[in-house]
Chain A
């Protein structure tokens, strides 16, 4: 489904990603962990098509298409979804209005019929249950004045509405209490299918008790320096990153 080969990317001339390789197949869940500033969000942003990041080397194919060749909206329409680490507040645009525009543009691209107001509202109601999001938030401006937890829930709600095939959750668990974490994970798990895949970026193994990964990767200094099964996350929880850093930094001296 997703194939990343030797991906290098920089921002304002500073290299951040220095040769990422990753293969993701339908149905898989990949966790990406790593110390602060290692490039996790950069990888997520590059996949979603953020223009500030310049890809200097490598390739990414998504369902056979050159992903890097597509603009951000077409990536979303093709089925890539990024749940933002820091969802943006957009005053003046109501959540409902925004989502209706998004859903219909995605549907148009996929050759599906447009949803009228009634159908859209019933779809919304159905998906709102999934993440137990408050109806009141829907008429408010997008993310404006939402609490941290509400913003994260809103990301998963949008994911449910857009039905992506590849979801990238960038620290969707950070800052959530255990109840909210359960609700969000439950939403993600219900959306999982043999046809779609998930990348979860996280600092906390706690999340991985709920969303169980098939693979865990450690990103450090712009490279995936270690990959393993879900037990790797437990090791990291216990031992931290120092042993990995030493390995990597020691080897490069």
Chain B
């Protein structure tokens, strides 16, 4: 490949890009390559990546742009990461590839297969929700992923147990990890996914994932994600869902640590009666940088979206929140709610928060707001004046702030797990 590309880093990625063996995905991959050649990865001034300079970060920390080979990983390590008391279908990903030996699931009410085994019809679906041209990192994933995983839930099926999805990551030879998931939930289905992203060591890797989810008519999906990685993890998640008539989709993202994490979460509300919920909590210390870019697209009348993100930032950490709500002309009677609240605990912590509303319909209810402040001194004094120690009082107040997000977790065992993670973090912030 000698074609001139926009920037050097894009070229490095393209040179190393893995060429998929599955024939029915070659055309899609080519689309990714063409897009990247024309557009390149975001430059410093790119509006969408203005506060999160990923190209620069990657240039400084990634030297081997090839795919990370399978890491050494055993059942003990997997066991250590399992969420206590959670009865689940366990999917273990080793550097982005599903590890069938370490996974443990029974395909009741759903089927799971590798992209290599997709029918022509199924393969057609890949890349139709997370479109290459929407985001350069989605395009990059499209050029780089090896084997994707396709989960299919047939019409009317309810997957009772949640999926517990563990992503183990480690630079190994190459530093680039490109998981690719497609969830195809047909009409009247239900499923819950709980995802945990784990670093196997402290070396820098670049995790660039794409998850596409189709939530068909009257289906209900919950997707939970925990990001608690090493301080050198660089990560972009492209998560896109198409939500159809009367369907609901809820996303929950808890971010605790990483060098630079960017979450692109897009909800396409494609029909009436559907609902999209986005909850996020980021509790950061050190130099962690977490950027949540969300996008909800109301296209038809009578759909609702709710979004609540909260952050507590200590040390030199940085948070970015950008919430886009797009209400198209046909989307009358839309209810869209968005809120982002932040507490800064140190003078060096930074938050950039920006709601972006674009409303073309005239009969809608949209509200948005953001706040950034310090811990409330008056509240702190009030608690102390009742005999509660300062540290304890601080913990109570911070937990009260964060707890509102945790209340949206529907799975008890997972909620307990998140509470313990949050309390531990707040104790050290």
Question: B-contacting residues of A (Cβ < 8 Å)?
Answer: 48-52, 71-73, 75-77, 81-82, 84, 87-88, 90-93, 98-99, 101-103, 105-106, 109, 141, 158, 162
Closest Cβ of chain A to B80, distance in Å, is 32
Q: Which of B378, B389, B397, B401 contacts A105 (CB 8 A)?
A: B389
Is B417's CB within 8 Å of the partner chain A? no
Distance in angstroms between the alpha carbons of A101 and B383 in the assembled complex: 10
Contact of B386 among A51, A109, A158 (CB under 8 A): A158
Tell me the complex Cα distance, A96–B108, Å. Answer: 45
B379 on interface, CB distance cutoff 8 Å: yes
Q: How close is A204's CB to chain B, nearest CB, in angstroms?
A: 24
Question: A83 CB to closest chain B CB, in angstroms?
Answer: 10
Contact call B385/A93, Cβ cutoff below 8 A: no
Question: Contact between B387 and A106 (Cβ–Cβ < 8 Å)?
Answer: yes
Query: Is A101's CB under 8 angstroms from B388's CB?
Result: yes
Give CA–CA (A17, B382) in the complex, Å: 22
Q: Given contacts A87-B382, A88-B382, A92-B404, are A105 and B390 in contact (CB under 8 A)?
A: no
- In contact, B385 and A49 (Cβ under 8 angstroms): yes
Report if B392 contacts A (CB, 8 A).
yes
With an 8 Å Cβ cutoff, the count of chain B residues facing the other chain is 23
User: Does B381 sit within 8 A of A, measured CB to CB?
Assistant: yes
Given A90-B397, A93-B397: A77 in contact with B387 (beta carbons within 8 A)? yes
Bound Cα distance from A76 to B387, whole angstroms? 5
Given contacts A49-B381, A90-B379, 18 further A-B contacts (CB under 8 A): A50-B381, A72-B381, A72-B384, A73-B389, A76-B386, A82-B385, A84-B385, A87-B382, A88-B382, A90-B400, A92-B399, A98-B383, A101-B388, A102-B388, A103-B387, A105-B388, A141-B400, A158-B386
In the complex, how many angstroms separate the beta carbon of B392 from the nearest chain A beta carbon?
7
Chain A residues with CB under 8 A of B83: none
Q: Which residues of A contact B43 (CB under 8 A)?
A: none
CB of B265 closer than 8 Å to a CB of A? no
A93 to B382, CA, bound (A): 12
Chain A's nearest CB lies how many Å from the CB of B310?
Answer: 11
Contact A162 B382 (CB under 8 A): no
Cβ of B387 and Cβ of A102 under 8 Å apart? yes
Contacts of B397 in A (CB 8 A): 90, 92-93
Bound state CA distance, A99 and B388, in angstroms?
9
Q: Which residues of B contact A103 (CB under 8 A)?
A: 387
Selected A-B contacts with CB under 8 Å, 28 pairs: A48-B381, A48-B385, A49-B381, A49-B384, A51-B381, A52-B377, A71-B390, A73-B385, A73-B389, A73-B390, A75-B385, A76-B385, A77-B387, A82-B385, A84-B382, A84-B385, A88-B379, A88-B382, A90-B400, A92-B397, A92-B403, A99-B386, A101-B388, A102-B383, A103-B387, A105-B392, A106-B387, A162-B386
Contacts of B392 in A (CB 8 A): 101, 105
Closest to A101 in B: B388
Q: Given contacts A50-B381, A51-B381, A72-B384, is CB(A91)–CB(B400) below 8 Å? A: yes
Residue B183 at the A interface, CB < 8 A?
Answer: no
The smallest beta-carbon distance between B10 and chain A, in angstroms, is 45
Please give me the residue from chain B that is nearest to A79 by CB atom: B387
- A51 / chain B contacts, CB cutoff of 8 Å: 381
Among residues of B, the one whose C-beta sits closest to the C-beta of A76 is: B387
Q: Name the B residues within 8 Å of A158 (CB-CB).
A: 386
> Least Cβ distance of B343 to chain A in Å?
12
Point out the residues of chain A lying under 8 angstroms from B384, CB to CB: 49, 71-73, 76
Q: How far is the CA of A52 from the CA of B377 in the complex (A)?
A: 10
Chain A contacts for B385, CB-based, 8 A: 48-49, 72-73, 75-76, 81-82, 84
Task: Tell which of A49, A50, A73 has the most Cβ of chain B within 10 Å.
Answer: A73
Chain A residues, CB < 8 A from B200: none
CA of A84 to CA of B382, assembled, Å: 8
Report the bound CA distance from A158 to B400 in whole Å.
20
| A92 B400 Cβ-Cβ under 8 A | yes
- Give per-residue flags for B153-187: 1 if the beta carbon is below 8 A from chain A beta carbons, else 0: 00000000000000000000000000000000000
Interface residues of B in 257-302 (CB under 8 A from A): none
CA–CA, A138 and B383, complex, Å: 16
Known: A92-B403, A92-B404, A105-B392. A98 touches B378 (CB 8 A): no
| Per-residue A-contact encoding for B329-364, CB less than 8 Å = 1, 0 else | 000000000000000000000000000000000000
| CB-defined contacts of A98 to chain B, threshold 8 Å | 383, 386, 388, 396
Contacts of B376 in A (CB 8 A): 88
Contact B396–A93 (Cβ < 8 Å): yes
